[in-house]
Amino acid sequence: MEITWRSYEEVATYLLAQNAKEFGLERVEGKQIIQGQRSGTSWEIEAKGLREGNEGFIIIECRRYTASKQTQEKLGGLAYRIIDTGAAGGIIVSPLGIQEGAAKIAASENIINVQLDANSTATDFVMKFLNKVMVGLSDRVVLSDVVSIEVTRTCQTCGRRFVAVENERICPDCQAKLHSK
């Protein structure tokens, strides 16, 4: 199962909503259009976080770039959307984090950097933010008189459950099909 840009945004929005309190948010809403106050233009945003105590909102932007960190220029674009809309800050979600210049912009414009693995799902993820790491696993651990661990996973290709050996993510049947091609 290939992760698309849209599903990465949906997973990120879901996980941020589940952890809204960690970010000082009352709730997280999905994709929407917000109006710029200074420019008079409209902005489509991936998600919107509403701060606790009705203290405004933050813009949430998701970028599933797997080859490079977010640049100063890209964070500058988010910073302008924050200024233009009157948002109280932002959250940038990406697999690799942000570059040094981008980190300076993030600090000055109240943008939180959230690293979320590119292949995350609502149940299987690694999310790093604010010196915290959250991990979601749908694997199962079986214990008996003799301690042994059996890890079952959902195949990333066909979606069936299988007993994984080490870090396998694809079931033996799908692996055999890949090797026979």
Per-residue confidence at 116, pLDDT binned at 50, 70, 90? Answer: very high
Residue 153 above 90 pLDDT? Answer: no
Provide the pLDDT for residue 47: 96
**pTM score, whole prediction:** 0.73
Provide the pLDDT for residue 149: 62
CB 129 within 8 A of CB 113: yes
Between 154 and 27, name the one with better pLDDT: 27
CB 71 within 8 A of CB 99: yes
Residue 111 above 80 pLDDT? Answer: yes
Mean pLDDT of 126-137: 87
DSSP string, 51-70: EGGG--EEEEEE---SSSPB
For 11-48, the pLDDT digits (tens) are 999 999 999 999 999 999 999 999 999 999 999 999 99
Provide the pLDDT for residue 1: 47
CB 38 within 8 A of CB 153: no
Identify which of 146, 80, 114 has the alpha carbon closest to the alpha carbon of residue 8: 114
Mean pLDDT of 73-86: 96
The yes/no answer on whether domain 5-136 falls in CATH 3.30.1360.40 is: no
Hey, where are the domains in the chain?
A: 5-136, 139-181
Mean pLDDT of 108-132: 91
Residue 140 above 60 pLDDT? Answer: no
Residue 177 above 50 pLDDT? Answer: yes
Average pLDDT over the chain, rounded to an integer: 87
Q: Which residue has the tokens 């003799």?
A: 146
